[in-house]
Structure 1
């Protein structure tokens, strides 16, 4: 049975020094202290690093994503992601993993629940306090045996250098220099992005016309070598207007679509959509 170990590699967002857990707070050697919220997460996003008063996904977007993902619609993505995390790692080797842009924590919870390993040390981080609150609420009651959750930014990740085996970036905003800094040599970045046909049926409804697809020009980021790539493609049948609304609300298309496009989506009582994503692994080079 998998043991989820406490995540101990947090760094002070103000000076980069190691943070030590003192029960109700995390404290660095220079005396900076960060309280643990009653839900069990810690806020490590200094106010001077915020670009708005309430950055990231709104509470409504988080709740829509929570309902949609918990209904199992993206289970094949979660399965492929979990398989990629443990691939190549010795069965008796503890793994430390960060989900950078974890949202409400679905993929980390699936990872924690789905594999028999001696130890997983898991950290979920998101810039949205609503997302992190939702992630913490859905975790188990024992804070010492569940993923850790942090409000923070990918631009300045509050994690000690060279301490991670895996970094996940799922439909997120990659900051490759930061990811490379955190990973041990031989560690892996696992990135999931939308493919050209992702949610095509929904996009055809909400937009007057679809933009031509740009060729895949992804380059291997500095500090990494390209590894395995997997295409994950399946159809997802949504029943009822609520599921369609949740899917739209959890994507950037909610804000990109016109009022007319949103109204056409709201009139639907169901929809079958194509899920088309690319999972790409990048190995951290030995500098």
Structure 2
């Protein structure tokens, strides 16, 4: 994962993100071969798949936090099939809008790396350091296996192992935003792109697995402390799922799997085709200048 020039379509791109911070004391980490070290002597080995684990045991809430190996595999199959391609395209467009020619981008909660890979393809010709972070070791391992020209880290949004003011963009896809940490890591003027489910997202599936749907609370886009709203968009489209496997994969990669009753999961398992509404909100938040 040492810094290197990547040649793609005749363009030179520098991918690895090197401004990592020690998760124990916040000091800069420097790469020494397959090991990352800070001046205090803390060291972290790079796994053979090409990622580094920067989630200390004392910061784990469970033995194996985040998505399981089975959930990661389901998400990889579903996303690779292209069902959410319009979301990936919209995210890449918003991230690249106004982005400096040389920049750094974090996918906070990267999963198996689909959206960061799509961003890399859309960013051909730009020098972007890409960093993917997830609390699931299985997710980061899968991401690193598929894309070697980025930096992949097991870590937590609650304590980003990133030096202050080193990021131009942060992506948070259906995840758990920690605005204070995002604000700390972003440069002034940098942007957070937050993608969340809209009121009708996967409504058809939810109507099958739940007895009733809770009324959705609509709210205007608001800026958390340290940010201002730079834009907001809604993206809606239909997805046609054919066969039991993609339906099962979708349910497995969402929180609905654990919220649904056994009867609801059984009804979903009996499906062989499903037309689904995809409804997401893309909120663009700009980091205010430091005072």
Query: Do the structures match in fold with TM over 0.5?
Result: yes
Does the 8 Å CA contact 1:94/1:117 hold for their aligned counterparts? no
Aligned counterpart for 2:17 among listed residues 7, 29, 40: 7
Aligned to 1:268: 271
Separation (CA, whole Å) in 2 of partners of 1:83 and 1:253: 29
What is residue 92 of structure 2 aligned with on the other side? 82
CA distance in 2, matches of 1:8, 1:151: 15
* Contact 2:99/2:168 (8 A) holds in 1: no
TM-score normalized by structure 1? 0.96
In the TM superposition, residue 95 of structure 1 has moved relative to its aligned partner by 1.4
Aligned twin of 1:143: none
- Within a 5 Å distance, the mapping from 1:91-110 to structure 2 comes to 93-110=101-118
- Match of 2:6? none
The equivalent residue for 1:118 is 126
Question: Which residue number corresponds to residue 234 of structure 1?
Answer: 237
Task: Establish whether residue 43 from structure 1 lines up as the match of residue 53 from structure 2.
Answer: yes
Q: CA deviation at 1:219?
A: 2.5
- 5+ residue gaps, structure 1, are 141-145
Alignment match of 1:134 (pick from 134, 142, 152): 142
Distance 1:217 1:115 in 2: 31
- What count of residue pairs does the alignment treat as equivalent? 280
Report the alpha carbon displacement of residue 168 of structure 1 after superposing the two structures with TM. Answer: 0.6
Are 1:2 and 1:120, in contact at CA under 8 Å, matched by a contact in 2?
A: no
Cα offset, 1:218, TM superposition? 4.7
Distance, in Å, in 1 between the alignment partners of 2:150 and 2:235 is: 26
| Contact 2:136/2:154 (8 A) holds in 1 | yes
**Gap regions ≥5 residues in structure 2:** 1-10
Flag the 1:259–1:4 CA change in 2: closer, same or farther, 3 A.
farther
The alpha-carbon distance between structure 1 residues 115 and 100, as it changes in their structure 2 partners (threshold 3 A), is same
What TM-score does the superposition give when structure 2 sets the normalisation length? 0.94
Q: Per the alignment, in what secondary structure is the counterpart of residue 176 of structure 2?
A: coil
Q: Which residue of 2 aligns with 1:164?
A: 167
Aligned-pair Cα RMSD in Å: 1.0
C-alpha distance in structure 2 between counterparts of 1:82 and 1:231, whole Å: 15
Structure 1 residue ranges, 4+ long, deviating more than 4 angstroms after superposition: none
- Measured in 2, the distance between the counterparts of 1:115 and 1:177 equals 28
How many angstroms does 1:116 deviate by? 2.5
